[in-house]
Chain A
Amino acid sequence: MNKPYKVFVFVLGFMLTACASGPQKPPENLLALTDAQLKIRSYQTKVFEIKDRLVVVRGVVQALQDLGFIVERVNGPMGMITAGKFAGEGHSGFVELTVVVRDKGSAQMEVRVNALFNTAPIEDPKIYQNFFRVVQRSLFSQG
């Protein structure tokens, strides 16, 4: 009598815990814009005094190639670029990034980049400064 009773209690307990937990709700602040995110956005963005979007997209692609990235996708008219590379000693990690080039007024282009390292967002401003330095150099060499 004892054994089937124990099994019954175990199964019942298991079922009740499954019912009690239910589907997990996403956190309410999932899409909330925090001050920290605004700060990150500011150093992920740089404005260039160039009118032509394609010139900027080509400049970014060239910069990424110079940095050893593999350009995976490019959409010129939309100004979008996706690229990635294995990085670090022994190529132990993977860096991936998305760049969006948008009009800012009639004579400027805004470049926004967000990069991930092993799926975690990169939030160090110095890293983005390095990126924009290489883009600047690439755009300058394009003339």
Chain B
Amino acid sequence: MTRVIVSIKSVSCWVVIIGVMLFLSGCARMASPESFFELSSTYSKDKALQSRFFETSNQRELISASAAVLQDLGFQVEESESHVGVLRAVKERSAREWGQEIARTFVALIGAIGGKVILLPVDLHQQIAATLTVFPADNDSKKFCSRIIFHRKVWKGDGSTGSSHIPPGEQRLEMINDPVIYQQFFSKLSKSVFLEAHQI
């Protein structure tokens, strides 16, 4: 029995050590400022995913139809600029996931057996945002390119390392690159303006 407890304690000790090493390795990889303004290797693929051409001369109609589609999808329009052709919309949702909750409980249980309750912070809340631009695609302004970028900001809840409290509010930003989401948006927009969406 004592041996079992000792081995469980050593397992929990390893969990803490691995956690600390992962945390420290995360700190060690600092951002390289020179890469901030360099194009990524996937930029043209991302652009193709996020953009469609519409054969219309009515930019305003394309922007207002896009706003209507975003409203249908539960977004609130935050900002619009008709001269340039920019629209921003957001929606707030819960970010809780079963997988993270199970992992948090599992780590807490192992920690509790070892005498230290470790609580991993989990995702609590998210803001999903859409930035849309509608720019002329030719010199005669008879063709417009609509580009939408979906991204989400996620806020984590609090946690504990066992000896100290991890405060809530840590946030991260994720680009949404699921092709289905973009296809759905452009399909709805296409139906809304009675125009075919052409891929770039």
Contact = CB atoms under 8 A, between A and B. Distances in A.
Interface of A: 54, 57-58, 61-62, 65-68, 70-77, 85-93, 95, 115, 117, 122, 124, 126-128, 130-131, 133-134, 142-143
Interface stretch (B12-20, B77-85, B101-109, B181-189): B77-85
B139 interface: yes
Contact of B135 (A62, A85, A91, A126): A62
Interface residues of B, number: 35
Interface of B: 26, 29-40, 43, 47, 50, 79, 81, 83-86, 88, 129, 131, 133, 135, 138-139, 147, 149, 151, 172-173, 175
Given A61-B135, A89-B29, 20 more contacts: A54-B83, A54-B84, A57-B84, A58-B84, A58-B85, A61-B84, A61-B133, A66-B39, A68-B40, A70-B129, A71-B86, A72-B88, A77-B83, A87-B31, A87-B35, A88-B31, A89-B30, A92-B31, A117-B31, A122-B33
Given A62-B135, A127-B37, A89 B83 contact: no
A73 B88 CA distance: 9
Contacts of A88: 29-32
Contact of A76 (B26, B30, B84, B88): B84
B142 to A, nearest CB: 14
B41 to A, nearest CB: 12
Contacts of A142: 135
A115 B33 CA distance: 11
Tell which of B37, B86, B138 has the most Cβ of chain A within 10 Å: B37
A18 to B, nearest CB: 30
Given A58-B84, A92-B31, A131-B37, A65 B26 contact: no
Contacts of A124: 33-34
A73 B79 contact: yes
A68 B175 contact: yes
B146 to A, nearest CB: 12
Contacts of B147: 62, 65
Given A76-B84, A77-B83, A66 B36 contact: no
A143 B135 CA distance: 12
Nearest to A115: B36
A133 B39 CA distance: 10
Nearest to A91: B172
12 contacts: A61-B86, A62-B135, A65-B131, A66-B43, A66-B47, A67-B36, A67-B38, A71-B131, A87-B36, A89-B31, A92-B29, A130-B37
Nearest to B133: A61
A77 B82 CA distance: 10
A128 B36 CA distance: 10
Contacts of B139: 143
A43 to B, nearest CB: 13
B39 A67 contact: yes
Ranked nearest first, the 10 interchain pairs of A and B with the lowest CB-CB distance are A88-B31, A76-B83, A89-B29, A130-B37, A76-B84, A131-B37, A86-B173, A74-B86, A93-B31, A74-B81
